Structure 1
Amino acid sequence: MSVFVDVEIILREYSNNISKKAIIAVVHRYLQKIIVRPNSVINNFENSVLHKDVKTIIVGDIPTYNNSFVDFGSVEVNWFVYNLDDYGPIMQCESDGDEGEIIISTQLSLPSACLVNLWENLYYDHNIKQNLLRYAQTMMEFSDKGVDCNVISCNRVILLHGPPGTGKTSLCKALAQKLTIRMSERFTSGLLIEINSHSLFSKWFSESGKLVNKMFTKIKETVENTNTLVCVLIDEVESLAHARNQCLSGSEPSDSIRVVNALLTQIDQIKRHSNVLILATSNMTETIDLAFVDRADIKQYLGNPSVTAIYKVYHSCINELIKAQIIKEQVLESVETLTVDESKEKTEETKQLLAISERSCGLSGRSLRKIPFLAHALFSEKSLVNLNDFLYSMEKAVDKELEERRHFEGLKKQSY
């Protein structure tokens, strides 16, 4: 059975007029000469001829691969060659009467320089990223090929839920970027529209529902261009899709219900378009209206990372600090290396990082990525430190973070 790997080639803005076929051939020869791990990003080409035309090479993950390094002589490669959009997000505003304008959404052209490497630096268990990518690709394929949604239900809605700090919003943005790249033969461009849920609640009675309708009207105008893949991100969707039975006990209940009704109606209308995908996140699923939950084709829970995922996060952070010359260069074994050869004797630094990872269980991904910063800021006395010394600083930073969390949990208990 063939093993496939995705390889992305990001071109420089002012690269020479060289064909994609020629670029792929040169990159393929280059990758066969160097050591590359799955799920890696290559930026430094030294004196290679690639330097003039290629900005970055991204080698995808291979979940079923049993080798620590990619053998480009034996794997099948899916090539993706593209340029990045450097302009960043553009705010979309709506008049709010005498109060001026409110920001109802931001738009980001894809693939964007703002989202480079985001996908590769999100670590989860059980192939969550690959499954979401396949789910989304299947949704788009069914719609594109005219599968009757009255026979096989597909609303093209993905709901990611779980505790704060687990990377739900980041994963949505990274998924939109990857889909644009992976489906480049079908769509010439991509667009991420991030809805500002909180701004859609107007202080004027009954205006919120109208704002939701206006916003989706603009989205539909964008979707009319069938060559553009449109990903709509609704962060903290419970703000717009609050359970209607709970709205009845609050102030201005009818306005909240109008917002939910407007959102559900617009989702039902926009699903007729084959080039749109709705991505939603929530920290409080118990407050989401069940009608919205039912419309979600995929409901994926994202919890706090396991020891393996924590080790990957810390490993990537340490490699970044080595590249920035904050930690002296030293080889630190990857999780893939440890998994392939479990009998291999681990270095003291690897054992130490594994112990730190176990101690960090219960921390969110957002908190984990702050630990190296806290370690250097609070417990490192030198600007350039040994890996062993930095790991001791990380231990202290983890202990401090856990202590602070216990303090806040104690305050919460006292407030009840």
Structure 2
Amino acid sequence: MPFDYGIEKLEPAFDDRPVPYIAYGGHFPELTSNQLTQTFGAERAFIISGKTLSENTPALKRLEKVIGDTATKLVGTHIGIAPHTPWDQVIEITNEIRMAFTEGGEQISDKDVIITLGGGSPTDGAKVVAWALSNPSVTKPEDLEPYFSGSEGHDASKLPDPIVRVISIPTTLSGGEYQSIAGVTRPPPSDQKCLFKPPTRNPSVVILDPELTTTTPAKYWLSTGVRAIDHCVETLCSLQSNIKGDEAAERGLRQLVSALLRTKGDSQDLDARFESQMGVIQAMHAVGSGVPLGGSHAIGHQLGPLGVGHGETSCIMLPAVCKWNASKKANVERQAICRDVLIQSQEVRGLIEKSGKSVDDTDLGDILDLVIRALGMPRTLKEVGVGRDKLDALAKNTLTDPWSPTNPEPITTKEQVLEILEMVVE
């Protein structure tokens, strides 16, 4: 898909959901200022920016400068939120933004906007922060306890919806900016990743600028792209799939695999980067169709807090989970559909030929392994520093994840998780 910086566009990301809109066709500072002034009529803005992006590139300074030239007052910037969105940091940022928005006795209103600049952690954090800002009782880490999905007596509906809007400027492909659900990680020794499900209001607008993403280290860009592939594969391979989800997942797979391999070959290919960003929308469209995900996501959610990158969890777990499901004959027909989509790609056929295998002798797990290796991403737990001493706790935490029982072969015991993990230990 050719990318043109000369034509700015604002359009819905999805045809069946009111948010988010996507804005593209311009550079991210100007696109953001246009949203603040023209779409939201924003009076105040607060930025949550990734640490590496802020320190190693001029992106944050460019954004701050352009906002400074608008009628919107920039009331603060928070630099840095750790990977996997730590629980305590969410509260810290909530209190920081609440103070900035209410300085001088003013009230938080729908003219206040949070802008996220960076990867999945700032985005996930902002979604929970925006919800917490509407709930004055949430000021300490323990105040979040009743409100994550699966907590005892969980009923988030009793608290007000978010007032503040969120604009996300993603620099990775994890896709969290296209849904209100957010993952927040408990502090050690638990290290459990919990899902929060705020009402569907934020993020309200997603800014797409492929040139900005050239500042993203390749391992984050490509690995989070595999995360988006994971969304497509686990949706398409689900035994609870539907036509809408299947169609979106197939479109996403076609876009993502080709575009990521092209980006690996040429990191400055803006067309391929934009194609990847659009592929993420299809992946999240598939997820948003209501199809439950499976074991790769379940294990990946709990693997992340052990220091593994969000996208790297999919690089390691997705082929293994597919292989494991196939060994149980859990979703053979669904995997065949997914495989057929992938082998239509000339790039994928080239990888199979290069491996010395034939197309007929290559299953879905094999193909995913070849693609991930071609992208130069890790394929074992050893490569990301997770040893056998972590497996028991990892398996136990995986059983708390909502996607474990919805795997095509339901994952209900620690032994099943350990069986899968043994496939990727080293």
Name the TM tier (shorter chain). Answer: under 0.3
Q: TM-score, normalised on structure 1?
A: 0.27
Give the TM-score, by structure 2 length.
0.27
Which has more radius of gyration?
Answer: 1
More strand by share: 1
Q: Higher helix share goes to which structure?
A: 2
